[in-house]
Amino acid sequence: MKNAPITPQSEGACLKFQVRSSDSPLIEREWTSQSERSGVFSSIAASNVEMVVTRHQGNVSLTIRGPETKATLAECPGDGEWLGIRFALGTYLPSLPPATIADRKDVTLPGISGTFHLSGSDWEFPSFENAEVFVKRLAHAGILIRDKTVDSVLDGSRREPRTRSLRSQQRHFLKATGLTRSTFRQIERARYAAVLLRMGATIADTVFEAGYFDQAHLTRSLKHLAGHTPAKIMSRDAQLSLLYNTTAPEWLYDSERDFGARNGK
């Protein structure tokens, strides 16, 4: 595991993040954050299921979040602490299919004497230090699973022989992520564009690098999925939810890029 660089935060941000990558195939990122004051921030559209432990005013709870297909405003209470485990795409709880908890239909499990109840058992709240062990235990108990078909859908089965029909793969992708592949690509393209803008890329360069047709297409996408225009994101005036630096997704420059960009996909 190693710390992962995150994009520069806005001036006077109410949330401060620490992020690290994971060696676990079930985890994309682990993160912690603290709030020094209350405020409001834009929760950017996201593709992954995640668990978040909240500590505030002596109370502890664990929230299971699904994917978000649009940006929303979220409140940040002062003096709060959070631990997040963002699962690898296609990793989810069968008892809570991603589509049922998508778009802020979160499930929050309150803490009782330092534990929470999930799938018939009591579990200790994870920490930043033991997050991988906690996730491994969930998987061993069958509470958490990963559908590897998702990888094949994303890479067009270039790395593995196709063992399922395209329609079957798409059904698996939807079940395991709560998203269609088209929606997933829109979200990840917008998140990548937001990272580029926060890191200092020009709007013109971002249009090209993220695979948009033109500036108007980029603007429409970011207003819907990130909650702000490209110029606003560049200015760092707005507090955004977690964005960590990443390379361009492998699929971004495949044969579907131009078609998808020109058709708003």
Indicate the pTM of the whole model: 0.86
Query: Which pLDDT value is given to residue 83?
Result: 96
Query: Which pLDDT value is given to residue 264?
Result: 45
Q: For residue 144, which phi and psi values (nearest 5 degrees)?
A: -125, 135
Tell me which residue of 175, 187, 178, 183 sits closest to 149, measured CA to CA. Answer: 175
Q: What is the pLDDT along the chain (265 residues), one digit of tens a residue?
A: 555 554 545 445 576 788 899 999 999 999 999 887 887 888 999 999 999 999 998 899 999 999 999 999 888 888 899 999 999 999 999 999 999 999 999 999 998 888 999 999 999 999 999 999 999 999 999 999 999 889 877 775 444 445 667 788 888 899 999 999 999 999 999 999 999 999 899 999 999 999 999 999 999 999 999 999 999 999 877 777 777 666 677 667 654 444 344 444 4
Measured in Å, how far apart are the chain's first and last C-alpha atoms? 34
CB atoms under 10 Å from CB of 229, counted, come to: 17
The C-alpha atoms of residue 41 and residue 19 are separated, in whole angstroms, by 18
SS3 of 143, please?
Answer: coil
CB atoms under 10 Å from CB of 259, counted, come to: 9
The C-alpha atoms of residue 54 and residue 33 are separated, in whole angstroms, by 10
Q: Which two tokens stand for residue 128?
A: 């930043």
Which residue ranges make up each domain of the chain?
Answer: 15-146, 176-262
